[in-house]
Amino acid sequence: MLDLAANVGASILGCHGRVGRVHALAMQAEEVALLTDSVRRVAEHAATPLGIRVAFEVLNRYETHLVCHVEAALGLVSAVEVPDSACCSIRTT
């Protein structure tokens, strides 16, 4: 998806956690850690060499159990610790 975004000249690519699961299958902390690692990898690949920023979409509690309010999204973005050149943005629904 990142390569396609780069090929069409996109500067931002939106992403979000899994839709449709409202309860954790494992420990919530484990799932948040997996999401954090995944978003970090996407954001790093997006930034270098593609120059794309990643916007993480906050979904409501009926769509996901991971990041469903702004405070959780801010915590995710902080935990991702992507260099300034690959800052994550937050887009709320």
What pLDDT score does 7 carry? 93
The two structure tokens encoding residue 83:
């260099």
Give the span between the Cα atoms of 92 and 27, in whole angstroms.
Answer: 25
What pLDDT score does 87 carry? 46
What pLDDT score does 91 carry? 54
Q: DSSP secondary-structure letter at 89?
A: E
Give the span between the Cα atoms of 27 and 42, in whole angstroms.
Answer: 23
pLDDT in tens, 2-49: 899 999 999 888 887 778 877 778 888 898 899 899 888 888 888 888
Total number of residues shown for the chain:
93
pTM: 0.78
Give the span between the Cα atoms of 46 and 10, in whole angstroms.
Answer: 11
